[in-house]
Amino acid sequence: MPASKFIAAHRLKALVLPLLILALWLLVSARVWVNPLLLPSPRQVLTTSWELLHTRDYWEGLGISLARTLTGFFIATALGAVIGIGLGASRWANRIVGPSFHAFRQIAPFAWIPLISAWFGGGDITKVAFITVAALPAVIFTTIDGVQNLQPEHKELARSLEISRWRYITQVVTPSALPDIFTGLQLALVVAWLATVGAEYFLQIGPGVTFYLHEGRSLARMDMVIFGIANVGVFGFLLTWLLTRVERRLLRWRPTQATAAGV
Amino acid sequence: MSTAILEPPSTAADIQAVGIHKRFKGNDGDVVALQNVDIHVKPGEFLSIIGGSGCGKSTLLRIVAGLEKADAGTVAVGDAPVLKPTKDRGIMFQDHRLLPWLTVERNVAFGLGHLPRKEALERANEAIRLVGLTGFEKAHPHQLSGGMAQRAALARVLVNKPKVLLLDEPFGALDALTKIQMQEELLRIWEAERSTVILVTHDIDEAVFLGDRVAIMTARPGTIRHFVDVQLPRPRDRSSADFVRVRKRIYGDFFSVSEAEREYEI
């Protein structure tokens, strides 16, 4: 089967760079070219990881971090979709509110931290609020685009079939905007995950997957830091992968979806 | 006419368009799209409107549908003036306009939101059967061929039991063979349902094959030059001498006679 062979070969190519880096890393630590305190050996990192993976704290922290990310992400999705559809569907609303939102978008999410922590304290609400604020613009703006990309023919169809305003929004506008909304959700999910890491790192340190970044740094345990970084990468990747699965399922009706998405 | 004319059912309505004017703003001044256009279509009658591109024939149809407003003149279907689009005037376009995220069945049922779901789907399936799409109820539009998509679009119009069918070059994008097949399907359905039909086309053959009458439109300003009565028995034979004669006469309305003769002398 040449097709599957091609895909297999294609996938293996993606591993070339990580394997090269691993080889280089092994070489560097075997020859002790860099102080092991700054760059521990792969074996050291594996051992530490193995130990940490067997602690209750790790899994609890991971659960808490993922819960924060998803809570912020879902709030941003719901708010963003409603605001985006409202602004996209109503030219008036977009004229009045649109410019303010574009200004809002220019504010770096971290700039909100002092304000949000002053309002909500240093606890979980602050973290989730920060994650939501960070993820929100991506959802809003792609949703507006999606709504405005609605084909005039479909608008006319709804008119000639006397479709009610509610069904028009839920069954014509929203599904038609869905591919664009998902583009925003992909971005928002990445941002939410990174914002989780940022919030955990900069706001009051507590349980969470970033704990190891902070702890490793203060104990000068770079193996722990690398474990923390790996966690950020792996779970960021997994979240994106999961969302892609959901997207593909919901957008089955699109003819190009299966061929375009690859993976 | 040698064919027996069926008694039109009470649902079929006549169409009265009187003194229709329509201008569009163009780059260099206004363009008169329609000037003083009158049409009267009897209940159950099939009127073809033929004209070149830009003659205003689609605009006229859109005004009858209520999708556009005339600058002057009135349109009435039955006793009711046309003010906005309604489901009892079903319109179908060259593009199928099916919603890609809905199955064929749900596309056809899309205008039946006022009915309980079960009843809506039953009626949709009935319409799907009528247009010969049985077996494709659960398919998505991207899985259909052009002809099948137009069948689904026709079913979506028919499911609302319209008094009037407005067809804007519905088969214009289909290949020649599918087109002929669809014309025959449309006739079969029209003969069974007997709704009033206006068909806009640029295909002389299609206009003559389907229409009881053919309105000849000319452009700039868009006006109806005259109506041709197609007094041919149905089913019509496109190669019969009478059919060719009517065709040729309409052809002569658009091109000089010598050109027309040249085509038919080969």
Per-residue pLDDT band at A217 (split at 50, 70, 90): confident
Contacts of A9 (CB under 8 A, 6+ apart): none
Radius of gyration of chain B, Cα coordinates, nearest whole angstrom:
19
Bridging pattern class, strands B196-201 and B164-168: parallel
Split at pLDDT 50, 70, 90, the class of B263 is: low
| Residue B257: burial class (beta carbons within 10 Å; 0-12, 13-18, 19+) | exposed
Q: Which strands, in side-by-side order, build the sheet including B196-201?
A: B89-92, B164-168, B196-201, B46-50, B213-218, B223-229
A193 by DSSP, 3-state: which? helix
Q: If you count residue pairs, one on A and one on B, with CB atoms under 8 Å apart, how many are there?
A: 54
Tokens of A109: 């999410």
User: 3-state DSSP call for residue B169?
Assistant: coil
Burial class (CB in 10 A: 0-12, 13-18, 19+), B226: exposed
Residue A11, exposed/middle/buried by CB under 10 A (0-12, 13-18, 19+)?
exposed
> Which among A193, A197, A207 is positioned nearest to A238, based on CA atoms?
A193
What is the side-by-side order of every strand in the sheet holding B80-81? Answer: B29-41, B15-26, B72-77, B80-81
At A15 the pLDDT is 86
In sequence order, the β-bridge partners of residue B76 are B16, B81
Q: Which residues contact residue B91 at a Cβ distance below 8 angstroms, ignoring those fewer than 6 apart? A: A160, B61, B62, B65, B67, B85, B157, B166, B167, B168
Q: Which two tokens stand for residue B161?
A: 């039991």
Per-residue pLDDT at A262: 39
Please judge whether A254 and B100 are an interchain contact, meaning their C-beta atoms are less than 8 angstroms apart.
Answer: yes
For B252: left if phi > 0, alpha if psi spans -120 to 50, otherwise beta; the answer is alpha
Angle at which helices A222-250 and A42-53 pack, to 10 degrees?
A: 70
Beta bridge partners of B23: B32
Determine whether the interchain pair A163/B99 forms a contact, defined as Cβ–Cβ distance below 8 Å: no
Q: The tokens of A72 are what? A: 């912020």
Among B22-36, B53-67, B79-93, B207-221, the range scoring the smallest mean pLDDT is B22-36
A-chain residues near B141 (CB < 8 A): 253
Question: Is the minimum CB–CB distance between B83 and chain A shorter than 8 Å?
Answer: no
Whether residue B60 has pLDDT greater than 90: yes
B191 Cα to chain A: minimum distance (Å)? 24
Residue A89 Cα, gap to closest chain B Cα (Å): 18
Most confident of B7-21, B160-174, B248-262: B160-174
Instruction: For A162, name the nearest residue in chain B, comparing CA atoms only.
Output: B86
> Which pLDDT tens digit goes with each residue over B195-249?
999 999 999 999 999 999 999 998 888 899 999 999 899 889 999 999 999 999 9
CB contact under 8 A, A160 and B85: yes
pLDDT band at residue B1, thresholds of 50, 70 and 90? very low
Tokens of A43: 């074996």
Interface contact B67-A160, CB threshold 8 A: yes
How much is the average pLDDT of B126-144? 92
Backbone phi, then psi, for B201, in 5-degree steps?
-155, 165
Chain A CB within 8 Å of residue B101 CB: yes
- Binned at pLDDT 50, 70 and 90, residue B32 comes out as confident
A94: its two tokens: 């977009």
What pLDDT was estimated at residue B256? Answer: 61
In this predicted structure, which of A119-128, B147-156, B250-259 has the lowest mean pLDDT?
B250-259
Distance CA B168, CA A194 (A): 53
**Partner-chain contact A161 B87, CB within 8 Å:** yes
Contact A161 B67 (CB under 8 A): no
- What is residue A171's DSSP assignment? I
- Tell me if A176 and B110 make a contact (CB, 8 A cut-off): no
Find, among B179, B265, B194, the residue nearest to B234 by Cα.
B194
Exposure of A9 in the CB half-sphere (CA atoms within 13 A) = 6
The yes-or-no verdict on residue A13 having pLDDT over 80 is yes
Contact flag A162-B86 (C-beta cutoff 8 Å): yes
d(CA B74, CA B77): 10
What mean pLDDT do residues B162-170 have? 94
Residue B68 touches chain A, beta carbons under 8 Å: no
- B23-30: average pLDDT: 84
Which tokens sit at B143?
């899985």
In angstroms, rounded to a whole number, what is the distance separating the alpha carbons of residues B145 and B201? 21
In the block, residue with structure tokens 């064929």:
B104
Mean pLDDT, range B141-162, rounded to an integer:
93
Which contiguous run of DSSP H or E holds residue B36? Answer: strand B29-41
Q: Taking a C-beta distance cutoff of 8 angstroms, is the pair B210, B198 a contact? A: no
pLDDT digits (tens, 9 = 90+) for A67-79: 999 999 999 999 9
pLDDT of residue B4: 43
Residues of A with CB under 8 A from a CB of B: 153-154, 156-157, 159-164, 167, 171-172, 175-176, 178, 252-255
| CA dihedral sign, ordered B230, B256, B199, B55 | negative
Quote the minimal CA–CA distance from B195 to chain A in Å.
18
pLDDT in tens, A162-208: 999 899 999 999 999 999 999 999 999 999 999 999 888 887 667 88
Neighbours of A124 (CB within 10 A): 18
Chain B residue numbers with beta carbons less than 8 Å from the beta carbon of A255 are: 100, 142
Interface contact flag, B67 A253, Cβ < 8 Å: no
Of B98, B182, B113, B185, nearest in space to B143 by CA: B98
Return the number of other C-beta atoms located less than 10 Å from residue B63's C-beta.
Answer: 23
Report the run of H or E that residue B101 belongs to, with start and end: none
Task: State whether A162 and B85 contact (CB < 8 Å).
Answer: yes
DSSP secondary structure string for all residues of B120-149: HHHHHHHHHHHTT-TT-TT--GGGS-HHHH
Residues 6 or more apart from A20 whose CB is under 8 A from it?
A: none
The whole-angstrom separation of Cα A56 and Cα A46 is: 18
Which residues in chain B have their CB less than 8 angstroms from residue A153's CB? Answer: 93, 95, 97
* pTM of structure: 0.81
